[in-house]
Amino acid sequence: MGCSMNENPPEYMPDSGLTFRAEPEVILAQLVPEPPRIRPPRRPPGWLRRHLPVLLFVATCLSTLLAGSHLLEILASCTLHGWSRVDFDSLWPVLVEHMYHGLIYGSCIMTILLCHEMGHYFQARRYRVPASLPFFIPMPIGPIGTLGAVIGMRPGVGDRKAIFDIGITGPLAGLVPTLIFCVVGLQLSEVGPLAGAKEQYGDPLLIQFLVWLQYGPLPSGYVVMVHPMAFAAWVGLLITSLNLIPIGQLDGGHVLYALLRKKAHHVASFLLMAATVAVVVAAVYFHYPVWVLMVLLLFIMGPNHPPTANDDVPLGAWRIVLGWLTLAFVLIGFTPVPFKI
């Protein structure tokens, strides 16, 4: 509260012989009401923010273990038929075998995802682009157990070369263990009759070629009963191919923008429209709505890529060649019918 004080001249009191100073006149200034306090938005507790990447990583390890072991299906079957009829002496070896398969699948797919995301993270640290630790996305219900992982980055910090290296290193780093698991996993797989296959999946051109190298032309009515390691490689190829779609801020979108700069917006918009038409046709006429959610996410993300800190930095010839070859990998690593319904 502001105030000013004026002192009156001293007054003489003859009867007392004392001199007194008059009370000061206090003038109150106009009070200005304090602005209302605006509470900041509630954020998660500090310990949760610090440990969320670790918690999601552990949760994704568990969800991939469950998906690879088919443990939920076994428990659901026992519940459906009644636990009183279950022969636990014969059930226990089955559970051990399935948990072993789940452990192989979970460790392989988590290795692929971890290499992919660490490729992004270390390149971001190299170029001093602020980036978060990877956030893995568990999916306990479903055949693959995860929806991948994401890393948060501050837009507009890295230049053209930095965005190219950050975007392309993740898929390339993830492809190294993916191809190793694919080759080794196919050697551990077996060829069996189609009638004995529990689940059927569509194979991209790359896996079809590796199967041909391993087993030659398959007899009619026979398929490859894939080992859990080979199935993890199949999932790794699917996730890598989806990330390399050159739209928005997917890995392929980063690479495409670094190659074409603002012209990438037109290419990405055309690809998004073409993908939308294809998904609608597949859902309506072929009753295959698997990709509807993916297209919706791409629409929410948008086809455009934000500009970099400096779009005029040259990439160099070898980066341009590597970028186009990496984007072309979608043609041999992606399968339009991953799950046969």
Residues contacting 95, CB < 8 A, separation 6+? 71, 74
CB contact at 8 A, 204 and 331:
no
Residue-wise pLDDT tens digits, 309-322: 999 999 999 999 99
Average pLDDT over residues 245-263: 93
At residue 212, the 3 state secondary structure works out as helix
Residue-wise pLDDT tens digits, 267-324: 999 999 999 999 999 888 888 888 888 899 888 888 899 899 999 999 999 999 999 9
Distance, in Å, from the CA atom of 102 to the CA atom of 140, rounded to the nearest integer, reads: 13
Question: Encoding tokens for residue 192?
Answer: 């069996």
Distance, in Å, from the CA atom of 5 to the CA atom of 51, rounded to the nearest integer, reads: 58
DSSP state of 263: G
Q: Measuring CA to CA, which residue among 178, 71, 162, 69 is closest to residue 116? A: 178
Distance, in Å, from the CA atom of 25 to the CA atom of 19, rounded to the nearest integer, reads: 18
The pTM is what? 0.81
Distance, in Å, from the CA atom of 232 to the CA atom of 195, rounded to the nearest integer, reads: 23
Q: Measuring CA to CA, which residue among 206, 298, 243, 232 is closest to residue 117? A: 243
Whether residue 82 has pLDDT greater than 70? no
Question: Encoding tokens for residue 65?
Answer: 């273990």
Average pLDDT over residues 217-235: 91
Half-sphere exposure (Cβ direction) of 140: Cα atoms closer than 13 Å: 7
* Percent of the chain topping pLDDT 90: 51
Beta bridge partners of residue 224, listed in sequence order = 191
- Cα-based torsion angle of the residue sequence 77, 147, 282, 247 in order, rounded to the nearest 10 degrees: 180
Q: Measuring CA to CA, which residue among 50, 39, 10, 4 is closest to residue 25? A: 4
CA angle 138, 142, 143 (to 5 degrees): 105
Distance, in Å, from the CA atom of 23 to the CA atom of 95, rounded to the nearest integer, reads: 94
